[in-house]
Every structure is written in C-alpha cells, then in structure tokens.
Structure 1
Amino acid sequence: MSSVRTVLGDVRPEELGVCDAHDHLFLRSARLPGQELNDAAAARAELAAFRAVGGGTVVQWTPYGMGRRAADLPDLSRASGVHVVCATGLHQAAHYSAQLVEELRGGLAEVFVAELTQGIGTSGVRAGLIKVAGGFHALDAHARWTMTAAAEAHHATGAAIAVHLELGTGALDVLDLLCGRLGVEPHRVILGHLNRSPDPVVQRQAAEAGAYLAFDGPSPAHHATDWRMPQAVRALAEAGFGHRLLLGGDTVIAGARSVDGGPGMPYLLRRVRPRLALELGEELMDRVLTENPGRAFAVQWR
C-alpha cells in the first residue's frame, strides 16, 4: 500500500488534508546571506497560521546541507497538528561550499537512500522525497550528477523526485534526462516553479509526458506569473490535466513569512485558492490541494 512519509511516520495519502506541496520551514544558503529561515518559534507560528486557515500538510523541499533542522520538525508537527514531509536531495552547486560537494562525490545516491530509509543524521526523521535542481534553460554537470543520484535513489526506494526549475525553465530537459535516460516514470517527477516561465506549450508538453506540475509561490515583481497563473492552470485543466496540478507557497526568506509581515504559508489558502477557484471551480480546487498531493508524494516504499 502506498503511503506518504512524514516526519512522524508514514500516513495514508487521504490523511494529508489540504497540502502546501512546496514550502520551507527552515532554509539556509550562502546565496541568501542574512535571510535565513532558522527560527523554530517563527516556524511553529507559521505552521499554526497555516493550520488556522485550513492547512493540513506542508512539504518542505529544503535538501541536504541547507539547514533543514530535521530534528526539530517532529515537535513542530505535533504542536501544530500539521503533517510535515522532509526532503533529501541536493540543490544547485552555488548553494554549497566546494568542499562539501567534493565530500559527496562518489556516494551521493547512498546519502539520499540512507536519509529516505534510515533517517537524517541522528534525528531519526526519514525524508519523504528527493529534491534536486536544474539550471537556467540548461542542465550543467552538477545538475546531471545530482539527478543521476536522485534517479538511483528513486529506483532503490520509490521516492518521488521534486525538481527546482531555475526561473521555471528547462522542464523538458529535466524530463529527457530523468525519464528518457535514467528510467524514472514521469508521474514520479514533480516540476517546480513552472509559474515563473509561463510558457503554455512547455507546460502542456510536461503534463502530456505525465509529470506533476507545481505552481508555487507568489511572484517577485519582475516575474509575470501571478496574473498569468490562473489562465495557465485553467488551460491545463481544460486540456484534461487537472489531476497533474500542485500548489505551494515556497517561503524561502524570513521576511516572506506571514508572522514577519509577508504572505507566508497562509497566502496559499487565503488568496491563491479563492482566485484559482474562479477558474477551476471549487471541486477541482479541492482535488488539487488534497488528492493530487496524495498521489504525487505517496510511495510504495521499497
């Protein structure tokens, strides 16, 4: 039987409730100096705020080496009543020191498998998905290395692979590599940030291939995404791909949290959901936020 691996153990997909399919409680990167998500009290308050507007599950895409604070996640989940899914995986090289990347050479897939099956460090928390990243309109050597390791870990465990698309680009290159060359079934791939490059042809091709399409996060001012996203998801739904849509908040810096004055996790349900319900209808919106994540992240664990 398939289950979703949360930080408190495996649960049935139908137990997730309303799901933020891509977000962060903790995150640290050299690319975001001074903007770390590293405050457990703020994370707890953010989960409580999400719960208060009807949220049931948060999938944290923070991968290896970026301040996941996995040991803190079980207590936060219990206190808030929100399921939390934790990621393994590796982001773009720019987020890490060259020394750390070199230390992982030759054993990256093994790290992913261990975190999915045994636990992250001494926390006992097992990851529930693999997160990797592409580049801008291309896959560099680092991306190919991490995706190859992700595919190996997927084949060993069954875990889904979530992919950061840089500014929403490179979706088809990712699918060519993961599914075409590395044998990952398309429905085990979740493509993130497709809203950041609102190309309806690419989105349609990715959906036709069988991947899940994640529209995640309110846009910065220079991204023509928020106002185009409703028509994009409507076009995909009308083409028969409503079952492939996922929604997330992608809170990556402290100032973006609702408890710090930003939109935060509640924004997904306070603002995004009602806006998209006008395009998709209430029934499909409910499925996008509940049934679709249940299928996307559920695994018959090996």
Structure 2
Amino acid sequence: MGDPVVQTVLGPVGPQDLGHTQTHEHLFIDVRKPPPPGASPEFLRRDQEDIRLDNYYYARRHRISRHSRLDSVVDAKEEIAFYRAAGGGTIVDATPRGLGRDPRALREVSEASGVHVVMGSGYYIAAHQPPEVAAKSSAEITREIVDDLTIGVDGVRAGIIGEIGASWPMHPQEAKVLDAAVTAQRETGASLLLHPGRDRRAPIDLIRRVEKAGGDLSRTIMSHVDRTLFSVAELAEVASTGCVVEFDLFGQESSHYEYADIDMPNDATRIDYLIALRDLGRLDRLVIAQDICHRTHLRKYGGEGYAHILENVVPMMRRKGLSAADIEKITVGNPSSLLSLRL
C-alpha cells in the first residue's frame, strides 16, 4: 500500500490538502415526505409553493416539498462558492444511495469551486430506502458499498461509508444495511458515518452493534449528537468507546424540532459541549458540521449557508476559550485523519 490519501469525487488527494473540513453536509439530497393523511387543500397548496420571503418560516417549520430537496447544480455552485471564499477546503457529502445522491453533479460542483468533495455510500433509514433494498442480501449491499469506494459510479468514487441510517427501534432492513456497512469498512478501511435513531439509547446501541460486527470504532462517526444526547456524561460515554462524536447541526437553533420532543441546543451550547469534551481529553474524538439538507438552509433562500461555521461559529469558539490549536484539530486534523485511506 502507498501513502494515505483521501478519495474525493475528483480523485485521490493528500490528507494535508483538505484544509477546513465539514464532515456532514449535503449538496444534493431528496428528503421529501408524503403529506399527512387528510391534509387540507390549503396545506397541499402551500406544500408545493416556491420559497419566498413571506413563506420562509412556514417552509422551514413545516418542511414543505420545495424545502426538502436540493437538486440544483446552479444553487450548489453558488452556495459552495461562499464556503470556498470563507476558507472552506473540503465537504463530506453524506447523501447515500436512494436519497438523491448525484455523483456527476458532485464532480461538476467540485470542479467549478475548487472545494474537495467526499461522496458517501450505503443507505439511509428504511423509510427512505429504495424498494429493492428489501430483497438484497447483506453481502450484496456490502459489494455495492465496496464497489462505490473502489470502482465508483459514473467514474466517481465514494470516500466514506454513510450516512448509514437507523431509526428507533431499529428496522430489520437498517440492521442489514449496518451489518453490510461494517463488513465494507473491514474490507476497505473507510470511515463509517452513522445516523442514530432519535432516542438517547440509540448511539450506544449502534456502537455496540458495530463493535459486535467487528467494526473499527476509531473510524466510526456518530452524527447528530446535538439532537440525541443532552448531557456531558452521555456525550462522554460515546466518546469513551473510541467513537468520534459529531456535532453537525450548527446553525439550526430553533426550539421547534419536528421529529422529537426536544429542546434543540443553540450554537453556543454546542461549543460548551466541545469544550467540556476537550477538558475530558476527548479533543481527538470531535468533528463538526451543519448538515445542510434543505433549501432554507441555503443563503439563496434565506438560510445560513455552508460558510456559517467559518464565518460565525469559529469566532465564537475562540471567544469561548477554544485555542487555535483546538479549532485546527476539530476542523482540520481530525477530519483529515478520518478520511485518509490506504488504497
């Protein structure tokens, strides 16, 4: 094997070339959902509206269809240009198969912007999996993931496994996909990005499943902890397993959260958690992102954009006591280590 490289949509690059990296974003994704049973004509009309200033909040709160799909190459190029201008070097596009992943479009955006893009692989939660997943064996799914990483789709190779979706309790199809993903990790050495169910027990449950299947916890990223775990003790428990803890909802600060009865932390609270985990000696287990996956997260539609961490969060991190070395470790060093592969 040669020196470690990071597999991007434009080919392998050196880990030292990534720069500031956000480990969980989406340039293209489709998370639309069917309208609720008995939805009124007014709801159905508003669900199909384009996003404007006068319906921005409604679109974001109710996740209307136009809000829940990123499919414009033009928008992606414009938005990623802000990220590049702010100092962004790399984005992990965590969109897996069946969720609007578009390898050719990712390549086009990366070429136009100069931003390294790392593509994901695998499948999301059962409710968003393509129907054919039900008939596939774990071995067949493993082969798909390994092929994504080693051969590619339309000439574009994945560089990470995930995001692998889990509900709570875990659906049998999700368990099958997770088993396949861990096998693919063992075969390729790629990092594994997990989407836990919305329950405090879910992250540790997933970690135990990965461990039982022989996965590498040091290269396993537990995403969405900022909507799942709400104490330093819980977060420290996850980090103590060797798993990487990902705070990836920076910029999403509304107290309203459609999917669970929680109080969503704000960015300042997220930074407090980072500091607490640093003080516990877990600095090397931390990464951050924004999980941009809706149109109203984009600047063009009134949102924070991919550069929010660089423009707004990093200065707050400094103000609250994280050193330049701490910030570099979280945003550059840890991601480059996780994304490195020996091909």
What's the TM-score bracket when you normalise by the shorter of the two chains? over 0.9
Residue 94 of structure 1, aligned match among 127, 135, 141: 127
Same amino acid, percent of matched pairs: 29
SS of the aligned residue for 2:98 comes to coil
1:54 aligns with 2:87: yes
Verify: 1:165 aligned to 2:205, yes or no. Answer: no
Task: Give the superposition deviation at 1:11.
Answer: 1.2
Aligned residue for 2:300?
A: 259
Runs of 4+ in 1 over 4 A off after TM superposition: none
Comparing 166-175 and 12-21, the one that deviates more? 166-175
1:108-147 aligned at under 5 Å gives the runs 108-120=141-153, 123-131=154-162, 132-136=164-168, 138-147=169-178
Measure, in 1, the Cα distance between the counterparts of 2:143 and 2:264.
39
Give ranges in structure 2 of 5+ residues lacking alignment. Answer: 34-62, 257-262
Most deviating of 140-149 and 220-229: 220-229
**RMSD value over aligned CA atoms?**
1.6
What is the aligned partner in structure 2 of residue 270 from structure 1? 311
Looking at structure 2, the residues matched to 6 and 12 of structure 1 have their Cα atoms a distance apart, in angstroms, of 10
Output one character per residue of 1:216-245: Cα deviation in whole Å (capped at 9) or x when no partner.
123342343224212211110001111111
Q: CA deviation at 1:188?
A: 1.1
Tell me, in whole angstroms, the C-alpha distance in 1 between the residues paired with 2:271 and 2:144.
39
SS where residue 121 of structure 2 aligns?
strand
CA distance change for structure 1 residues 210 and 276 in 2, over 3 Å: closer, same or farther? same
* Matched residues, number: 296
Q: Is the 8 A contact 2:183 2:215 kept in 1?
A: no
Structure 1 262/82 Cα, relative in aligned 2: closer, same or farther at 3 Å?
A: same
Q: Which runs of 5+ in 1 are unaligned?
A: none
Paired amino acid for 1:221: S
Range moving further from structure 2, 49-58 or 72-81: 72-81
Are 1:248 and 2:289 an aligned pair? yes
Q: Which amino acid aligns with 1:263?
A: E
The aligned amino acid for 1:236 is: L
Question: What TM-score does the superposition give when structure 2 sets the normalisation length?
Answer: 0.82
Partner of 1:214: 246
Q: Does residue 1:73 correspond to 2:109, yes or no? A: no
What are the superposed Cα offsets for residues 261-296 of structure 1, whole Å, 9 maximum, x if unpaired?
A: 101201111112222222322221122111110011
**In the TM superposition, what are the counterparts of 1:179-198 in structure 2 within 5 Å?**
179=211, 181-196=212-227, 197-198=229-230
User: Hey, what's the Cα distance between the residues in 2 that align with 1:40 and 1:166?
Assistant: 30
Counterpart of 2:306 in 1: which secondary structure? coil
TM-score by length of 1: 0.93
Matched, 1:25 2:27: yes
> Aligned partners of 1:79 and 1:7: how far apart in 2?
12
The C-alpha deviation readout for 1:81-103, integer Å capped at 9, x for no partner, is 10000001100011134x23234
Decide whether the 8 Å contact of 2:32 with 2:69 is kept in 1: no
Give the match's secondary structure for 1:48.
Answer: helix
1:237 aligns with 2:270: no
Report the CA distance between 1:25 and its aligned residue: 0.2
